[in-house]
Amino acid sequence: VQLVESGGGLVQPGGSLRLSCDVSGFSFDDYAIAWFRQVPEKEREGIAVISSSDSTTEYADSVKGRFTISFDDTKTTVYLQLNSLKPEYTAVYYCSADSADLLRLDPTDYGLWGQGTQVTVSP
């Protein structure tokens, strides 16, 4: 399984970004893809997850109403739309895959990670 994140960058407060997670080599019929973020010296935080079986989603309270997770038509890419960005959202954003399709946001339930993409929100 390979996960490759992209789309990060520098954006002003209030701006938007769309992150992408390209997933390959995943052979399970039903699974979940989740996004996490991490800042230095803090634990990785689960922020959004989507189910491959019915595209149901779950979000951390801290991002509800601001971030949207979605699949592309082929379900080989998972997007994370980030809106109304704040400086405190500056972090490295990672995606991961879960064969259990349980909409989990605890990073300890995930074992495979991409390299991450840096999002910096600053004037």
Instruction: Give 53-72 pLDDT, tens digit per residue.
Output: 999 999 999 999 999 999 99
Task: Report the DSSP beta bridge partners of residue 91.
Answer: 119
Give the torsion sign (CA, 5, 6, 9, 11): negative
pLDDT exceeds cutoff 90 at 24: no
* pLDDT band, very low/low/confident/very high, at 28 (cuts 50, 70, 90): confident
Contacts of residues 53-59 at CB distance under 8 Å and 24 or more positions apart, as own/partner, are 53/29, 53/101, 56/103, 57/103, 58/103, 58/105
